[in-house]
Amino acid sequence: MLLRPRWAVVHRWGGRARGGPGIAHDVGVPVDADRLERLVAQQDGVVSRAQVLALGGSPGLVTRAVDSGRWRRLFAGVVVTHSGPVPWNARAQAAALYAGRGAALSHAAAGYLHGFVGKAPRTIDVSVPADRRVQDQPGLRVHRRRSVPVLPWSPPLVTAPATVLDLVELASTEDDVVSLVAAAVRARVRADSIASEIARRPRLRNRGLLVELLTDVGEGVESALELRYRRDVERRHGLPRATLQVRERVGGRWIRADALYVGMGVRAELDGWLGHPGGRTDADTWRDNAVAVERLELTLRYRWSHVVGDACATAAQVEAALRTRGWQGRGRPCSHTCPAGRGG
């Protein structure tokens, strides 16, 4: 729901504004005050000088409102129509208006509004067509690009798949890439739309990892550790593919299994550093016990050193666990020293 800013509440009796100086006091005739009020409400209290002029306002309207202290200038030619604190959404609107024709919020700012970046960035990124010159400003960073794939929202945004790739190119670690793509897929950015965007960027940084990752993320991979488990433990050693991120009710509580071998009585919990900085937590211990008591299932728990440092031994242990629960298959050794697939 859009709320009208306090300055925009104007009552007219006989063509005269009541209730103190407001928009009608400054704009006069022939400005379309009702349209200006609606526009400002749609833009989180922000308006550009060009928009005011287009609605019939005089050239000095914005200057007078700013000089009086009732409006504040955020960027050249862009104001917020009150004197109070400026929320992030208003700053984002102002950034897009300042950047002008063909511009759109991009990178972390767009990711935040698309729902897969968790925190509003302090510096707002905008992308503009390469034939335009727009200068960086305090709190605003400008990117020039040959094509700006825009969603014409308010404010305009770079499309979600393009935003994912923009952020992937800035990622410093594999874990950052995995977390970003997983968050985007959870926010309902379709994997095939990301793949289509990849095809349009032949020189994309981290391209190989992205192509490999898209299928796995669609199946539930949410971290670099889970990606390594899927790729280096299961796939490389010919093990069954576990179902990832399974939510179920056990012991009267909702739990989530990182990797569940459905129907085989075995699950693997992957304890990354972010979720388990000190190793197994009290909640982990309770969950493992509840699964053992209620489901009679075996829980294997692995950390980075097991999955990355010794994937072959981990694969052999998973294989052995599956075989104790009736699996008739056999793992595949990845080298002449690999212990997987050599059990009885």
CATH 3.50.30 corresponds to the domain 225-324: no
Predicted confidence band at 151 (pLDDT cuts at 50, 70, 90)?
Answer: very high
More confident residue, 206 or 157: 157
Domain ranges of the chain: 6-84, 89-158, 163-218, 225-324
> What does the block give as tokens for 49?
């000088």
d(CA 139, CA 159): 22
Q: Round the CA-based radius of gyration of the chain to a whole number and report it.
A: 28
What's the angle, vertex CA 157, arms to CA 161 and CA 35, rounded to 5? 150
Q: What is the pLDDT of residue 23?
A: 52
What's the angle, vertex CA 258, arms to CA 256 and CA 261, rounded to 5? 105
Averaged pLDDT, 325-335: 94
pLDDT in tens, 56-92: 888 788 899 999 999 999 999 999 999 999 999 999 9
pLDDT in tens, 229-262: 999 999 999 999 999 988 888 778 887 888 999 9
pLDDT, averaged across the chain: 85
pTM: 0.75
- Are the C-beta atoms of 298 and 268 separated by less than 8 Å? no
pLDDT in tens, 99-117: 999 999 999 999 999 999 9
Q: What is the pLDDT of residue 61?
A: 87
